[in-house]
């Protein structure tokens, strides 16, 4: 099969379009003919190197949509030709965390395209537990734009953040895949959605997704704007996935008793903060790491009902994955960048 891989950590130039052996499946696994795979910032971090052991040569890609090519001898509910998504979170299915739908707390939790081989390839394999049937409602590219970002945003806002109707929620980077998903989920939850982006075009698109207030962070101080929009109260919940570029200012515009949910560090992994303000204002900083299959099924149900929708920015061929990653690095997208295989 054809695949895009890297043999060592480094820059975009490390990505190679090569021939690889097609994966072999066990009795409980399914081989998927990949039709589309969406990009995530995780792909870039893993390529650059996180100091965590990964299979080499490595195939990135957490969001896989396609058709079943083969099924293991113990797989009964799927057959070749079925249209499916591959759930990106791999769990042990036996521990207390997995049994209680807290999959990402499982000690053996892994992510497709990170600790195991992913979807930048013509074929990918997964345990049957990770295979989810899909309808003809959307294209493969649109389906691939859903899993990781919508699941993570749901886990952050609904499960961990406990977002309530009427609360002021600040969502950074409306144009990012996770930002465009979070705007929709927060709007659906009945919150007042305030988001940041750069440029008129992205701000207009954010409003169409459900943002109530938009801030061009290149022209306005978003912390001052938040205080102005909330009569100096501040945001009740902040959706944080940027890192040091926004961390300190986030805490300045968080209301007393407010929560900040955190899932990423796009601008870097280390921050500084004033600890006294943390306890004096009784802030909560809540770590989030993707989510569980039950949450993903809830999201997909809302997608089928038309309450949430995938946002695809652009589609690249598999052999141009390097250009796709560069576009993400340049922040040139609104919504998801997808590889078509």
Digit-coded pLDDT (tens) for 69-118? 999 999 999 999 999 999 999 999 999 999 999 999 999 999 999 999 99
Q: Please, is 40 exposed, middle or buried when counting C-beta atoms within 10 Å of its C-beta (0-12, 13-18, 19+)?
A: buried
Please state, in angstroms and rounded to a whole number, the distance separating the CA atoms of residues 309 and 138.
9
Same domain, 138 and 154: no
Question: From the CB of residue 55, how many other CB atoms can be counted at a distance below 10 Å?
Answer: 12
Task: Give the pLDDT score at 71.
Answer: 98
Structure tokens at 189: 């939850």
Give percent above pLDDT 90 in the chain: 99
Buried/exposed 158-177: b ≥16 CB within 10 Å, e otherwise: bbbbebeeebbbbbbbbbbb
58 phi, psi to nearest 5 deg: -100, 135
Residue 294: inside a domain: no
Q: Whole-model pTM? A: 0.96
- What total number of domains does the chain contain? 2
Same domain, 140 and 158: no
Band (120; pLDDT cuts 50, 70, 90): very high
Q: What are the counts of helices (DSSP H) followed by strands (DSSP E) for the chain?
A: 11, 17
Residue 131: inside a domain: yes
3-state helix, strand, coil split of the chain in percent (to 5) is: 30, 25, 40
Tell whether the torsion through CA atoms of 32, 35, 38 and 44 is positive or negative: positive
Residue 297: inside a domain: no
Residue 301: inside a domain: no
Indicate the average pLDDT of the chain: 97
Task: Give the pLDDT score at 22.
Answer: 97
Residue 228: inside a domain: yes
**Alpha helix ranges (H) inside 230-285:** 247-252, 275-280
Task: Give the pLDDT score at 139.
Answer: 98
Tell whether the torsion through CA atoms of 10, 12, 13 and 19 is positive or negative: positive
Q: Which domain holds residue 118?
A: 2-146+310-340
Same domain, 92 and 173: no
Same domain, 61 and 126: yes
Question: From the CB of residue 32, how many other CB atoms can be counted at a distance below 10 Å?
Answer: 29
Task: Give the pLDDT score at 182.
Answer: 98
Band (209; pLDDT cuts 50, 70, 90): very high
Task: Give the pLDDT score at 252.
Answer: 94
Same domain, 59 and 114: yes
Within 13 Å of residue 159, how many CA atoms lie on the same side as its CB?
Answer: 24
Residue 295: inside a domain: no
Residue 212 vs residues 82, 134, 260: alpha-carbon distances, Å: 40, 31, 19
Same domain, 190 and 216: yes
Task: Give the pLDDT score at 105.
Answer: 96
Task: Give the pLDDT score at 70.
Answer: 98
Q: What is the DSSP string of 120-141?
A: SBSEEEEEGGGEEE--SSS-HH
Identify whether the C-beta of residue 113 lies closer than 8 Å to the C-beta of residue 325.
no
Please state, in angstroms and rounded to a whole number, the distance separating the CA atoms of residues 311 and 16.
28
Q: Cβ contacts of residue 172 below 8 Å, gap of 6+? A: 179, 195, 196, 238, 239, 240, 241, 242, 246
Residue 321: inside a domain: yes
Structure tokens at 71: 């099924």
Please state, in angstroms and rounded to a whole number, the distance separating the CA atoms of residues 322 and 4.
9
Same domain, 189 and 278: yes
Task: Give the pLDDT score at 1.
Answer: 98
Average pLDDT over residues 241-268: 95
Region of residue 4 (phi > 0: left; psi between -120 and 50: alpha; otherwise: beta) = beta
Same domain, 125 and 251: no
Please state, in angstroms and rounded to a whole number, the distance separating the CA atoms of residues 96 and 76.
26
Same domain, 214 and 95: no
**pLDDT tens profile 42-59:** 999 999 999 899 999 999
Within 13 Å of residue 107, how many CA atoms lie on the same side as its CB?
Answer: 3
Same domain, 166 and 223: yes
Same domain, 32 and 105: yes
What's 130's domain CATH number?
3.90.180.10
**pLDDT tens profile 155-201:** 999 999 999 999 999 999 999 999 999 999 999 999 999 999 999 99
Domain boundary among 272, 287, 302: 287
Please state, in angstroms and rounded to a whole number, the distance separating the CA atoms of residues 276 and 280.
6
Task: Give the pLDDT score at 7.
Answer: 98
3-state class of 309 per DSSP?
coil
Same domain, 93 and 56: yes
Residue 296: inside a domain: no
């Amino acid at each position: 099969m054809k695949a895009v891989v890297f043999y060592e950590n480094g820059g975009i130039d490390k990505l190679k379009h090569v021939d690889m052996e097609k994966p072999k499946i066990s009795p409980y696994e399914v081989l998927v003919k990949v039709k589309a795979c969406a990009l995530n910032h995780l792909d870039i971090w893993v390529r650059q190197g996180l100091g965590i052991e990964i299979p080499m040569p490595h195939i990135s890609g957490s969001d896989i949509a396609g058709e079943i090519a083969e099924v293991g001898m113990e797989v009964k509910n799927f057959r070749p030709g079925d249209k499916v998504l591959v759930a990106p979170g791999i769990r042990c299915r036996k521990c207390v965390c997995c049994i209680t739908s807290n999959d990402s707390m499982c000690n053996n939790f892994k992510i497709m395209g990170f600790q195991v081989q992913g979807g930048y390839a013509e074929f990918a394999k997964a345990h049957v537990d990770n295979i989810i049937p899909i309808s003809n409602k959307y294209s493969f590219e649109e389906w691939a734009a859903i899993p990781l970002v919508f699941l993570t945003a749901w886990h952050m806002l609904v499960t961990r953040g406990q977002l309530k109707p009427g609360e002021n929620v600040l969502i950074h980077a409306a144009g990012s895949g996770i930002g465009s998903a979070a705007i929709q989920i927060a709007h659906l939850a009945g919150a007042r959605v305030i988001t940041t982006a750069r440029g008129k075009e992205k701000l207009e698109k954010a409003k169409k997704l459900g943002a109530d207030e938009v801030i061009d962070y290149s022209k306005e101080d978003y912390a001052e704007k938040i205080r102005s929009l909330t009569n100096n109260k501040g945001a009740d919940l902040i959706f944080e996935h940027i890192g040091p570029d926004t961390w300190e200012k986030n805490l300045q515009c968080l209301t007393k008793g407010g929560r900040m949910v955190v899932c990423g560090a796009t601008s870097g992994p280390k921050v500084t903060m004033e600890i006294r303000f943390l306890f004096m204002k009784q802030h909560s900083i809540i770590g989030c790491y993707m989510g569980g299959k039950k949450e993903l099924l809830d999201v997909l149900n809302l997608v089928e009902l038309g309450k949430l929708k995938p946002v695809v920015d652009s589609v690249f061929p598999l052999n141009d994955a390097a250009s796709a990653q560069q576009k993400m690095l340049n922040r040139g997208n609104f919504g998801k960048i997808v590889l078509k295989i």
